[in-house]
Structure 1
Amino acid sequence: MSTQFTAAVITPETITPAQRLSVGHLLAERYRRSWPQEPPLTAATEAENLFAGPQSEWCVNWAIFDGEQALAWAQLTGSQEHNTHWAALYLLTQPAAEDAGHGEALRAALWQVARAEAQARGVSVLGAWGVESYPGFLQFLRGAGFRQTLSNSTVRLELAAVPEKLLTDWTARPTADPYLLHRWTRVPDEYLERMADLQAVINDMPKGDSELGELVYTPQHIREREEQVALDGETRFLVAVEDTRSGKLVAYSETYWGPDRAALVYQGATAVRRESRRLGLGRWVKAAMLLWLREAAPGAASIKTNVAEENDAMNALNVALGFVPYATVSEWEVRLTE
């Protein structure tokens, strides 16, 4: 294997089927190394969805190959419309190449082209995520000038361990309750605008020192996300609470589950509008979600989620349910200079 590595842009038109599958194997093996306690990813599925993404975002992929074998992969992606100064960087090396001592050189080659692409697009800040089980990437981030902006605890809940009485208590509502619970796998058209408005509440959550800016959600964003989830072979379970006095949606919780990795459910966002807090709505949507998963996600055994260590309210809710921390995911950013 040569130690002079050259990164090249890959597209559906320029990559061979064997190379594409090799990138899928790289992504699956890197995930297995980083998260050995979780169901593995399927290389063929990762390869098939390699270039999938919402129309509202731009995306560039690179890879370094030794023949047909992928040694490393990177992706740069950002919004076409909002926070265009910011882009996300994903950069992974094949574990065998990393073990052979080529990780640093592979990352350097990909970083050179990704940084140049970002600057050419007028991006001034790049964001990335790191996990302690992939120390080579954390070392790269520090060396490239990234600074840590937020630390998240990765926590897991064993579904069978949740007390039945807790679920009963958290889903009990008073007589003549003005709040109505919805369960959706696809947001109805008549609720799209209201759901997009509710999702913006996520901006109340801790962001650390991030320069990303306010997250913007639109009906288009919701539909694009639903399409991407379907492409991944998964179902998005969404529980939302409506205040029937105003028609406004005031709380929600979402999870993602697929039969190919049935044992694991990923918990996405849970949020309650500021003016509707301390009414038990957060507990209600969390407990209602667990009850729904029992019915609709056969084989589901545990739920995984990431929560900012400084998010006291959500951490307290998760501890009460029985979530246990088992890893740390850190968020990083670097400001690009000419």
Structure 2
Amino acid sequence: MTTNLLWRIESADPSTAPEAVLRAVAAHREVIRAERLPQDPTWPLETLITEMRHVQSDERVTQFNAWEGERVIGHATVFLPLRENTHLAFVDLSVEAAARRQGLAAALLREVVTHAEAQGRSKLVGKTSDRIAAGEAFTRRLGAQAALPMHTNQLDLAELRPVLLDEWSEQGEARAPEYRVWLNAGAYPEERLSEIADLWNVMNTAPIGDLDMEDWQMTPERLREWQLQMGATGEQRLTTFAEHHTSGQLVGFSELFWQPGRDILLFQGATAVRPEHRRHGLGRWIKAANLREALARNAQARFVRTGNADSNQGMLAINYALGFRPFIAQTDWQVETARVREYLGARPGLS
């Protein structure tokens, strides 16, 4: 534990932490959400707590919470992958507006880097957005590398032409008669889980900019654990698959998610087509079919959001044609732990 006159920093394992700790962290996350996205519906605290409780078996998660009395005013979660990319520590760090410019972010970062290095990690990876400018300013002071510029893009469904979805589906059927598309709501069919895991690995072809990151390998076990978390939080998922008629191979998929109580927001997850099956209009076809079905199932939806690397021109072309527009500018940053140590060493008052 680290203390000073303004706060105390304590670590926690979210899978076993007392309910009161996770409730305070969830309340802090809602404060940050309200600053970044004041127009959005609130996240139910119980949903956030349940999400934090479900730690995947192939990662280690540690929280560092800065307390002011009984409130968490600053927070860092450190995600340590245990299979691939074991040189990296992924960090989500936030400080409430009233507590900024007092050295709290640096104090949390000291805990993070000490923990990361103790676990053999040599590089930190984190994200900032233009909705909280202090995050990017702090990251630049660290000397971190802006490794992957990206945007959250948003589709206002009031501006969507529904006929466009029909047109894209009809064009897909005409251009690619050797394929069929089919819908799946909720958990994936168990008998095809290995195929779906293999299809997920196509996401490794998406741009990662300058991130020092090796390919992630999806497995049936990872998919099962993810689905358990979804079931616990009530998250809804709709997937459209593209399948090659002759071989029966799954060649593409597109996914949408929404959360009960926050039904106005749809989140576009992965969309991927195997490279050897591209240029048949499959990407547009599966996205159109999936969105049309999602809107039939969730009439409350008002917006669709998705994250895209600025360099992902192929997917951006599809999204812009559908009506998505830039909503939030974001950057994935990376920095060596030695560089962070050097920065913190110049701030001895934080020890």
The alignment's TM-score, normalised by the length of structure 1, stands at 0.92
Structure 1: which 5+ residue stretches go unaligned?
none
> 2:79 pairs with 77, 80, 90, which one?
77
Matches within 5 A, 1:18-37: 18-37=20-39
Matches within 5 A, 1:1-338: 3-11=5-13, 16-98=18-100, 101-102=101-102, 105-172=103-170, 173-174=173-174, 177-184=177-184, 185-337=186-338
Deviation at 1:83, TM superposition (A): 1.6
Deviation at 1:16, TM superposition (A): 5.0
Residues in 1 aligned to 2:152 and 2:146: alpha-carbon distance in whole angstroms:
16
Residues in 1 aligned to 2:147 and 2:48: alpha-carbon distance in whole angstroms:
29
Q: Which amino acid aligns with 1:256?
A: F
Q: Which amino acid aligns with 1:182?
A: W
- Secondary structure at the residue paired with 1:242? strand
Go from structure 1 to structure 2 and tell me whether the alpha carbon gap of 1:176 and 1:7 turns closer, same or farther (over 3 Å shift): closer
Deviation at 1:97, TM superposition (A): 2.5
Go from structure 1 to structure 2 and tell me whether the alpha carbon gap of 1:123 and 1:13 turns closer, same or farther (over 3 Å shift): closer
Residues in 1 aligned to 2:80 and 2:311: alpha-carbon distance in whole angstroms:
26
Q: Which amino acid aligns with 1:95?
A: A
Q: Is 1:19–1:69's contact at 8 Å kept on the other side of the alignment?
A: no
- Secondary structure at the residue paired with 1:49? helix
Question: After superposition, what is the alpha-carbon deviation per residue over 1:105-125, rounded to whole angstroms, capped at 9, x for unaligned?
Answer: 111111111101111111122
Residues in 1 aligned to 2:28 and 2:206: alpha-carbon distance in whole angstroms:
33
Deviation at 1:308, TM superposition (A): 1.0
Structure 2: which 5+ residue stretches go unaligned?
342-351
RMSD (Å), alpha carbons: 2.1
- Secondary structure at the residue paired with 1:7? strand
Q: Which amino acid aligns with 2:210?
A: D
Question: After superposition, what is the alpha-carbon deviation per residue over 1:233-277, rounded to whole angstroms, capped at 9, x for unaligned?
Answer: 211211111112112111111111112101001111111111111
TM superposition outliers: structure 1 runs of 4+ over 6 Å: none
Q: Is 1:6–1:109's contact at 8 Å kept on the other side of the alignment?
A: no
Q: Which moved more, 1:63-72 or 1:7-16?
A: 7-16
- Secondary structure at the residue paired with 1:259? coil
Question: After superposition, what is the alpha-carbon deviation per residue over 1:77-122, rounded to whole angstroms, capped at 9, x for unaligned?
Answer: 1222122111210111123323xx43xx111111111101111111
Deviation at 1:298, TM superposition (A): 3.3
Residues in 1 aligned to 2:66 and 2:327: alpha-carbon distance in whole angstroms:
32
Deviation at 1:199, TM superposition (A): 1.0
Residues in 2 aligned to 1:94 and 1:14: alpha-carbon distance in whole angstroms:
25
Q: Which amino acid aligns with 1:34?
A: R
Q: Which amino acid aligns with 1:320?
A: A
Q: Which amino acid aligns with 1:166?
A: L
Question: After superposition, what is the alpha-carbon deviation per residue over 1:30-71, rounded to whole angstroms, capped at 9, x for unaligned?
Answer: 011112232222234323433322112111111011221111
Deviation at 1:232, TM superposition (A): 2.5
Q: Is 1:158–1:303's contact at 8 Å kept on the other side of the alignment?
A: yes
Residues in 2 aligned to 1:315 and 1:65: alpha-carbon distance in whole angstroms:
41
Q: Is 1:54–1:228's contact at 8 Å kept on the other side of the alignment?
A: no
Residues in 1 aligned to 2:175 and 2:238: alpha-carbon distance in whole angstroms:
27
Residues in 2 aligned to 1:132 and 1:45: alpha-carbon distance in whole angstroms:
26
- Secondary structure at the residue paired with 2:120? coil
Q: Percent identity?
A: 31
Question: After superposition, what is the alpha-carbon deviation per residue over 1:189-208, rounded to whole angstroms, capped at 9, x for unaligned?
Answer: 12111111111111111111
Q: Which amino acid aligns with 1:121?
A: Q
The alignment's TM-score, normalised by the length of structure 2, stands at 0.89
Q: Is 2:15–2:53's contact at 8 Å kept on the other side of the alignment?
A: no
Q: Which moved more, 1:125-134 or 1:163-172?
A: 163-172
Residues in 2 aligned to 1:4 and 1:95: alpha-carbon distance in whole angstroms:
15
Deviation at 1:13, TM superposition (A): 8.8
Go from structure 1 to structure 2 and tell me whether the alpha carbon gap of 1:162 and 1:335 turns closer, same or farther (over 3 Å shift): same
Residues in 2 aligned to 1:248 and 1:84: alpha-carbon distance in whole angstroms:
32
